[in-house]
Every structure is written in C-alpha cells, then in structure tokens.
Structure 1
Amino acid sequence: MSIRVLISDGQELMRLGFALMLESQPGFEVVALAQDRSQAIELSRHHRPDVVLVDLDGSYLEGIAAIRGIVAREPAPSVIAVTSFDCDDAAFDALEAGAAGYLMKDASAGDLLSAVRDASGGGVALPLWVTSELVRRYRRLAQAPETAAECKLLTRREHEVLTCLLEGLTNAEIGARLWLSESTVKTHVGAVLRKLGVRDRVGAVLYAARYGLLLGN
C-alpha cells in the first residue's frame, strides 16, 4: 500500500518539486497540494493522508499553528515541517506542536523519501544536526545533579536505548548497535516510554528537548 502524502507550501515550484520526487518512486501517492496552511488543514481532514509536509517559511507562527491544527484530528497524520531555517529552536517548536519530522528544503530526494517513510511508520525524521543537539542536551540532562525524576528511573541500558531513539534509529538498528534482539529492543523501548510518561518516540524526543532546554545550551 502506498504512503499517502499531502504537500503544503506557498511556492508552487516547491509543491510541484516535492510531488515529482515522491511520485517518481514506487510506494508514494501525493493525494493533494495545498497553497497555504488553512487549506492544508482542510485538505488533511478531507483526504486523510498518512503524512503531511508543512511549510514553515513565510509566517513561521502560522506554520506552527497549522501543525497543531493538522495533528488535532483522529487519527492524526504524521507531519514533517519543511523549512529553510537550520535552527534548533524552530525544530523544537515544530516537535512541540506535534510534528514527527523536520526537513530542510535543500535536502536531497533520498532524504525526503526516507523522512516520509520514517514518519509514516511512526518514527522520528530529523536531520543529523537536530538529533546531535538533542543527544548533546539529553546527555547533559542525564549527568546533571538535579534532573527530571523520570530520567533517574532509567537503567543504563534504557539510557542507551533512549539515546538511540533520539538519533532516529529503528528497533532493528538499535539492536544492531547494542547487540540486542529486536524483541528485547521493543521491551526496552516500551520501558523507556512508560518511565518517561510519554506514548511514543516523538514524545521521548520532546522530553529530551524540553528538559535539555531547561539546562541551557
């Protein structure tokens, strides 16, 4: 079954370019193109895509509001914020609003396809510079003398698994790195999410971003 994608961008060439890249590969179907954020929310409700690409350029706050509006419905699609801003705070704002990914507009076709696949599968699709910053802030959090109580409950192995989650690794990739079976990884991931009080991998990323930001840069 194809991954159904809705593309929202104020620039026609950008909308068409993303659509062309996606539909040139098997397994992707572009179900609608939105010219602005309000149309993206409306079309998302009508077409029920698996993934929505939302433009953050132009009116940044409107883009963040659009992400919130799109993920408010049930079942919510995965949203990838697409932007020209290589800014940590912009990425964290998008994640806080409910996005499952953050993609630069100058990303390669391969990066776009991977991001859509990861987001559609419930994963987190983030560029390396964002995951690196998340991991850096999380490690500072874990080593701080006063840190979130939930973080202190994690075992050493669960800390390792959480770091892998922040890097956007799949269960299979985590297993290969930590020399664990995929079923064992699933058990550890479930324990991490339960102890942190979050429901999914995006929630784990938000946890690290939120408490890492409290520690400063």
Structure 2
Amino acid sequence: MRAEDGGGPIRVVLADDEAMLRRGLRVLLEADGTIRVVAEAGNGDELLAAVRAHRVDVALIDVQMPGKDGLTALRTLTALADAPVAAVLTTFDLDDYVADALRFGARGFLLKDAEPAMLVRAVHDLAAGGAVLDPRITARLLPRFRSATDNVHEMQLVRGLSGRERQVLQLLADGRSNADIGVRLGLTEATVKSYVSTVLSKLGAQNRVQAALIAQRVAGDFR
C-alpha cells in the first residue's frame, strides 16, 4: 500500500554519485509530505543493496555512476521480485543508453534540473503505475527513434486503434496511471489494464514509455 491509495508515504531511493544533488532532491521530494526518501546510493552496488534492505516503491537512477553504473544496476533491479518502478535521472546529454534503459525496464526519463513540482508529480505518477517523460527529453528522444522507425507504418497502426483505444493511448502518453485513466474515461482499472495491453500489442510496443513515444511521434494523427 502506498500514499496513492492511503497506505503511507511513497518510498523512494535516490541513486546519483553527486551527494549535493541527492540532498537537494531529498529535500524537495520530502517537502511534499507524501514522499519519503528511504535511502541514497552513490553507485549501482549501493542502489541494489538499498533496494534489498528497504521496501521501495520508486527508484530514481543516474545512469553514469562510478563502479557499477546505473544501467547495469537497472538491469538487475528490474529482475528482482517486488522491484520498484525505476526512472532514469539524466541531463540533456542523452547517449545510446536510452534504448537499453527502456529495454531493461525504465518507466521514464527525468531531467535533473526539472521543476520541483514536476519531479514530485513524476514520483506520484510512477508509484501509481504511470510512465513519465520530461517534455524536454521527449523532444530529444523523438528524432533519435524516428530515424530507426517507419512513421508511416506507425500512423497506420494508430489509425487501426479503436476510438477508445486512442483515448487510452493519449492518456498513457500523458503519463497517466491505469487508475487515473479509469477515472477520466469512466472505466474500471481492470478494463483499462486490458485496453493498455491491447494498445501495446497493436503498436508493437514493449512498454508504456515506447507507446508514449509512438503517440508523440504521430500526435497529429489522432489528437
């Protein structure tokens, strides 16, 4: 049970090799009153140890850390039983790790200099099962993935979705959780889960973040 459903604060682990950054993130997240940073980590080994020692809902992970880096740790982390939802903390210097992070189970990408309110909202959305992408990161990711995909084909796939499936895709692209989508569309959470699975399957997306990127690429086709 998390704060999202009345079960206590959202429990977060911060993994970054810059202690000052971790301290700043801790202060702004805990100021929300519903988020508790249960541990900090300066490298991948410390991150995995923290997750094993604490019950964690959300892990915010810097990829470039000394020793075991965040990407290597992410691959191990997401394979654990009761693994926390993980999002990558990054700068504008997006490298080839983006595709790997998605494949290893990252549920979002956040810029380290994001506005406090955005980071707090992102943690809540992640804890509720959503996916998060800083709009500035999305603008950088789209060209990278556009060169490796057939946009015409993706537009055809989106056109093949039903009206309700397109609504679900749009809300999913906005980072909404299944529960939030259900409230907005008047559907049960179980029904939304079924819709999300169908949408991912029809789009050939492995996860919600990939589906969100497809939605952003062909936004004009279904908004």
- Calculate the TM-score normalised by the size of structure 1: 0.74
Distance 1:188-1:30 versus aligned 2 partners, 3 A rule? closer
Contact 1:96–1:206 under 8 Å retained in 2: no
Give the percent of matched residue pairs that are identical in Structure 1 and Structure 2: 34
Contact 1:56–1:81 under 8 Å retained in 2: yes
Count, aligned residues: 201
> 1:44, CA displacement in angstroms?
0.7
Contact 1:9–1:55 under 8 Å retained in 2: yes
> 1:209, CA displacement in angstroms?
5.3
Matches of 1:70 and 1:121, distance apart in 2: 19
Q: Which residue of 1 aligns with 2:220?
A: none
Q: Which residue of 2 aligns with 1:38?
A: 45
Distance 1:174-1:49 versus aligned 2 partners, 3 A rule? closer
Matches of 2:194 and 2:31, distance apart in 1: 36
Residues 1:191 and 2:195 are matched in the alignment: yes
Question: For residues 14-36 of structure 1, what are the alpha-carbon distances to aligned partners after superposition, in whole Å with 9 as ceiling and x for unaligned?
Answer: 11111111222211111111111
Aligned residue identity for 1:103:
L
Q: Which residue of 2 aligns with 1:142?
A: 154
> 1:75, CA displacement in angstroms?
0.8
Question: For residues 115-148 of structure 1, what are the alpha-carbon distances to aligned partners after superposition, in whole Å with 9 as ceiling and x for unaligned?
Answer: 11111111111112445666x969644325xx6x
Distance 1:72-1:143 versus aligned 2 partners, 3 A rule? same
Q: Which residue of 1 aligns with 2:69?
A: 62
Residues 1:125 and 2:137 are matched in the alignment: no
Matches of 1:185 and 1:120, distance apart in 2: 15
* Unmatched runs of 5 consecutive residues or more in structure 2: 1-7, 218-223
Question: For residues 131-171 of structure 1, what are the alpha-carbon distances to aligned partners after superposition, in whole Å with 9 as ceiling and x for unaligned?
Answer: 5666x969644325xx6xxx686324313421331232356
- Of the structure 1 ranges 48-57 and 90-99, higher mean CA displacement relative to structure 2 is found in 90-99
* Unmatched runs of 5 consecutive residues or more in structure 1: none
Matches of 1:185 and 1:25, distance apart in 2: 26
Aligned residue identity for 2:195:
A
- Calculate the TM-score normalised by the size of structure 2: 0.73
